Structure 1
Amino acid sequence: MTLAELMQQYAIKAKMNDLEGIRETAIEGVWFYRSSQGNRRQPFVYQSGIIVLGQGNKNIHIGQTPVRYGPDDYLVVGVPMPLECEAIATNNEPLLGISIDISPALLHKLVKKLEASRYKNVCEEASQCGLKSVKMNDAMLDACKRLMIALCNELDVVMLGELLLEEIVYRALVSDSGHVLFELAYQEGAYARVAKALNRVHQEYHEQLNVQELAEEANMSISAFHQAFRNVTLESPLQYIKKVRLNKARELIQIEGRRVNDAARLVGYSSPSQFSREYKRHFNETPRAAKL
């Protein structure tokens, strides 16, 4: 069976055949995604991890280089990335995929084993964007298929779930773009330092964060932090913070049903009018339109 067929089989088994969005599976850290029609190009924040599409295609717009991926590739996302994404359903069939979280404990465990075997995967380029598209090879495809088969069997989930998750992360680590994850384990490297600052942004987006505080969090000078931050995220720190706040506000309005002024306050805006202006500029619609 193809990966798409196995995902469809799982959707029926798990009663997710009408799902529009993403839901966690019985294996912690593994999420199933389904969209019947896709979506037009719009802002999102991709969380760190591995993203595999079994059916459909996505166009990601980040910086000046669009990234296209579908069943023939997968994404390795080292740090949360604000971007714009267009999801395309093909042949009138829904998009189907899985997203896999990578815990720091698992990442360090695997990197430590790889280093003990004298394996390294380090990018020599100065720019180390936190998102890479990787060609799907036979080993990764086989691991993803076995994961979907296991998800259809409760005992397999218990006995094999963590092992399959570990194998998929290992396959990503040794891929051509595995350095995106590999270098997160190097605590003293610029990439890992920026990731630490990004973690603070996503935890404290409602606070009045400034670049100096984030640079201190990364234990870097402001100028060095600015450059390293842009290399990883393709954004300035202030642009990144703004996008994180606006995306979180959209979730509060659309998913939790919060009032516009409450959402603005909860993500750190003291001026509702400024929030509305920036929201409209970012999403090309007013916050009130998001409630409809």
Structure 2
Amino acid sequence: MKELAQAIYRHAPDTGLCATAIPRLSLVYVDRPSVPTPVVYEAGLCLIAQGSNRVSMGERSVVYDAAHYLVVSVDMPLLCHVTDASPDLPYLCCKLGFDPALLTELMMAESGTAPRVDLPAIGVYPSDPDLIEAVCRLVRLLDRPETIRALAPLIEREILYRLLIGPHGPMLRHVAMAGSHVNQVGRAIGAIRQRFDSQIRIEDIAVEAGMSTSSLHAHFKGITGMTPLEYQKQLRLQEARRLMLIGGATAGKAGFAVGYESPSQFSREYRRLFGAPPRQDIERLHAASSTTLSL
């Protein structure tokens, strides 16, 4: 893990998240604790080499660190809160997005089956030394860019294989199966994300997912913990929060930008999700950030 931290440190930006020359691989460097920030976690593996992070989905929160890795099965709107970071010991993390076609290929090559599954969309598991070693080899390819094209796909296959045979493997197998409910819900999520700021008809989303409306509702909530409309609402409100917190937008402009026509409805739903009206919530987050910076 120390070697992985060093490799991430060499190639991560001064702060924040950055893509790399390796497809689907991103690196994160943060040198101080953050305020809870709305982020859409795309399906993939998150492996922390140093520091810790809390991610929240509604009332459920999970913490992962250098001793645990996070797997996200489908794109999820979450609150991300880096809890352990400093200039001397920055938060260092790598994220590898899933290639659905490769997942399917590996699953079919191994057994072609997907057992019954009752796992959450996101899961945190004790770190696997073999998985860490493979991820470390992948990140180290950034030291020799000429090797990426030939070797990165091989190491990516190994990483996905280790996840498929790991504790979250049953869920990933369902993600990879074209006719599975998890795969269909994933398609519904993609459709909602594309037009989250517009009015959507659940019947249209169900058609795009290849499901009946009743089946979409049941399986969508079983996998994400939300109905499709609740998922859209989370996307809207988290994007509005980001626009106000990072972009400096007013509540009115942020609400309108994400599809709300009624300021009162926006404020009411915002307060229900974040526990305070927009202006008060953003002031609270800025105050928390200023306190953190002064410590």
Q: Scaled by the length of structure 2, what TM-score is found?
A: 0.83
Q: 3-state DSSP class of the match of 2:135?
A: helix
Paired letter, 1:232: I
**d(CA) in 2 for partners of 1:272 and 1:64?**
25
The 5-angstrom pairing of residues 107-186 of structure 1 reads: 107-114=103-110, 118=111, 120-122=113-115, 124-125=116-117, 127-186=118-177
**d(CA) in 1 for partners of 2:277 and 2:34?**
18
Q: 3-state DSSP class of the match of 2:230?
A: helix
Aligned-pair identity in percent equals 31
Q: Does 1:6 align with 2:4?
A: yes
Q: Does 1:214 align with 2:209?
A: no
Q: Give the CA deviation at 1:121.
A: 4.8
- Name the structure 2 match of 1:243: 234
Q: Does 1:50 align with 2:45?
A: yes
Q: Does 1:269 align with 2:264?
A: no
User: Once the two structures are superposed, what CA deviation does each residue of 1:122-164 show, in whole Å capped at 9, x if it has no partner?
Assistant: 3x24x44211223222210110121222222222333322222
Task: After superposing the two structures, state which structure 1 stretch, 268-277 or 173-182, moved more.
Answer: 268-277
The 5-angstrom pairing of residues 17-32 of structure 1 reads: 18-19=14-15, 21-32=16-27
* Runs of at least 5 residues in structure 2 that lack an aligned partner in the other structure: 287-295
Q: Give the CA deviation at 1:286.
A: 5.2
User: Once the two structures are superposed, what CA deviation does each residue of 1:22-79 show, in whole Å capped at 9, x if it has no partner?
Assistant: 1111212100012222334554432211111111122334466543321122112111
Q: Does 1:73 align with 2:64?
A: no
**d(CA) in 2 for partners of 1:265 and 1:65?**
28
Does the CA-based 8 Å contact 2:51-2:85 persist in structure 1? yes
Structure 2 CA distance for partners of 1:268 and 1:65, relative to 1, 3 Å: closer
**d(CA) in 1 for partners of 2:262 and 2:167?**
45
The one of 199, 202, 210 aligned to 2:193: 202
**d(CA) in 2 for partners of 1:60 and 1:251?**
16
Does the CA-based 8 Å contact 1:132-1:180 persist in structure 2? no
User: Once the two structures are superposed, what CA deviation does each residue of 1:192-241 show, in whole Å capped at 9, x if it has no partner?
Assistant: 11111111011111221133332333333333322211110011222111
Paired letter, 1:7: A
Does the CA-based 8 Å contact 1:128-1:231 persist in structure 2? no
RMSD: 2.8
Task: After superposing the two structures, state which structure 1 stretch, 67-76 or 152-161, moved more.
Answer: 152-161
Q: 3-state DSSP class of the match of 1:39?
A: coil
**d(CA) in 2 for partners of 1:262 and 1:272?**
9
Does the CA-based 8 Å contact 2:12-2:28 persist in structure 1? no
Does the CA-based 8 Å contact 1:57-1:69 persist in structure 2? yes
- Name the structure 2 match of 1:191: 182
Paired letter, 1:98: C
**d(CA) in 2 for partners of 1:202 and 1:159?**
33
Paired letter, 1:93: L
Aligned residue-pair number: 282
Paired letter, 2:11: A
